[in-house]
Amino acid sequence: MLKRILSRQETLVGVTLLALCLTIGFINPVFWTPGNWFDLARSATVTGIFAIGVLVVLISGGIDVSFTAIAVFAMYTTTVIMNNIGFGGGMFAFFLMSAGIGVVLGLINAFFIARFRLPTLIVTLGTQSLFRGFLLFVIGSKIIRDLPPGMAEYSGAFLFTVTDSRGITVGLHSAVLFLVGVAILAQIILRYTMLGRSIYALGGSREAAERAGFNIAHTQVFIYAFVGLLAGLAGMIYGGLNRQANAQDIVGQELDVIAATVLGGASITGGRGSVIGTLLGVTLVTVLSNSLILMGIPSIWQRVVIGAIIIIGTAVPAIRALRAGRRANVEIEPVLAEQRS
C-alpha cells in the first residue's frame, strides 16, 4: 500500500510542492506571510476552476482549448447586458447569467463532438476562434471599467481579514469558496456516480464503453456543458476580482491550465486523473508563477523555470509507465514461451 502511494503522481507533485515552499520560504520569509498566501489562493481560484473542467475532458480522452474563450465571452457579455439594463442587484445574478451563457457555448462544442464524432481538439480550436471573433466584432472589445454596483463591490468580498506585522490589512477572498465547491462536486461526480464511471470508461476505450452500455453521446454532452458552466463561472470571478471586463483577457492561458492538470496526474490520452492531483498541480504552478520573484529570479526566466518543471513533472510518470510496461513484458514472456512450446 505504502509503495503504491509513494509511486503515485499526486505524491510526487505534493512532495515537490512542499520542497518548493520550504526553499522559497527559506530564501525569503515573506513567503509565509498571510498576505502572500491569500494572494496565492486568489491567483489559484480561476485557474483551479478551469483545471477541474479540463480534468473531466482529459479523463474522457478529449482535449478542450476553447474554455478560456467561453469564459471571457460569458463574462464580457454578462457585463454588457447588466450595464445596459442598469441592473443594481447582487453578484448572484451575474454568476447565474455567465454560467448559463457558458453552458450554451459548451453545448455547441458538445453538438459537433457527440453528433458528428469530430476530434475534440479540432472542434474546440474552431469554436475558440468563433467565440472570440463573435465577441470582438459583434458584442465589443472596449475595456469596461464602469461596472454594475454588484460586480464592482465583489472585489472586496473577503471571508475574513487580518493585519500583518507591518500594519497592512489583507483578506482571503470569498471566491475561494467557489473553487472548493467545484472541487467537491467534481470529486462526487467522478468517484461516486455512474456518470463518472462513464467518463473514465470513455477515456479508457470508447468501444469498450459502448459495449458496456454507456451512452457516449449523453456523456459527452454533460462533459462539455459542465466545462462551459465552469468557464462561465470562472470568467465572471475573474472579471469581479479585477474590477473590469476586458474582452482581451484570459484567452491564451489554456495551455498553462492543461499543463497544470497533466502535471497533477491526468493522462493526456484519457482514462486517468484525480481532483486532488489537479489541485496540487495548479497549486504548484501558481506558487512557481507568483513566488519566483521572491527567490530573486528575474521575471524573464520565470516562464523558462515553469516550463522546465512542467516537462519534468509530466515526463516522470511517462517514464514510469514505460518501465512498468517493459517489466510486464519481461514477466509474461516466459509464460507465452511455455504456451508456445
Could you say which residues of the chain have pLDDT below 50? none
pLDDT value of position 325: 66
pLDDT of res. 330: 60
Neighbours of 84 (CB within 10 A): 9
Q: How many other CB atoms are there within 10 angstroms of residue 199's CB atom?
A: 29
- What is residue 293's predicted lDDT score, i.e. its pLDDT? 75
Residues whose CB is less than 8 angstroms from the CB of residue 306 and which lie 6 or more positions away in sequence, other chains included? 285, 288, 289
330: cell is 519481461
Q: What is the pLDDT of residue 2?
A: 61
Count CB atoms within 10 A of the CB of residue 75. 33
| CA 196 to the chain's CA centroid | 18
pLDDT of residue 132: 95
DSSP 8-state code for residue 144: B
- pLDDT value, residue 332: 60
CA-based nearest residue to 128, from 306, 275, 253: 253
**φ, ψ for residue 64 (rounded to 5)?**
-120, 120
The pTM of this model reads 0.93
**Dist CA 235 CA 216 (whole Å):** 28
How many alpha carbons fall within 13 Å on the CB side of residue 123?
21
For cell 503504491, the residue is 4
The CATH number corresponding to 2-340 among 3.30.750, 1.10.3470, 2.60.40, 1.10.8 equals: 1.10.3470
Helix (H, G, I), strand (E, B) or coil at 297: coil
Quote the pLDDT of residue 308.
77
pLDDT of residue 341: 57
∠ CA 13-16-21, nearest 5°, is 125
C-alpha 274/C-alpha 52 separation (Å) is: 9
pLDDT in tens, 47-74: 999 999 999 999 999 999 999 999 999 9
